[in-house]
């Protein structure tokens, strides 16, 4: 009967006991969603540390996401470089 009672309490929305050593996955997901970061690839004509021009950043965002940009160029980091090429990051 113990298993049946546990299932009933879960279906009824009763609070569950937290198992020591585990993380609250719902809180982790909400935190991840709220701290979404956009990595936008930019042209190779920029050097690390440069600021991307507004119109070029808008074109890159439209091309990569299909959406109109919601932030301005000042809301993005300076250009950074990795093995894939140049990029900028936005923290919302």
| Residues 12-30: tens digit of each pLDDT | 555 555 555 556 565 555 5
Single out the residue of 36, 69, 37, 41 nearest to residue 55, CA to CA: 69
Instruction: State which residues form the domain around 82.
Output: 38-92
- Residue 44 placed within a domain: yes
- Residue 28 placed within a domain: no
- Residue 50 placed within a domain: yes
Place of tokens 């021009």: 53
- Residue 75 placed within a domain: yes
pTM over 0.75: no
Single out the residue of 65, 91, 56 nearest to residue 77, CA to CA: 91
CB atoms under 10 Å from CB of 52, counted, come to: 21
How many domains does the chain divide into?
1
- Residue 64 placed within a domain: yes
| Residues 23-80: tens digit of each pLDDT | 656 555 555 555 556 789 999 999 999 999 999 999 998 898 888 888 888 888 899 9
pLDDT number for residue 46: 93
Q: What would the two tokens of residue 50 be?
A: 């440069």
């Amino acid at each position: 009967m113990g298993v049946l009672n546990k299932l009933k309490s879960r279906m009824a929305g009763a609070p569950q006991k937290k198992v020591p050593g585990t993380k609250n996955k719902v809180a982790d997901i909400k935190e991840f969603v709220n701290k979404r970061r956009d990595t936008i690839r930019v042209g190779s004509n920029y050097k690390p540390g440069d600021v991307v021009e507004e119109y070029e950043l808008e074109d890159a965002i439209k091309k990569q996401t299909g959406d109109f940009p919601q932030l301005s160029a000042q809301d993005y980091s300076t250009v950074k470089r990795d093995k894939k090429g140049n990029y900028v990051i936005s923290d919302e």
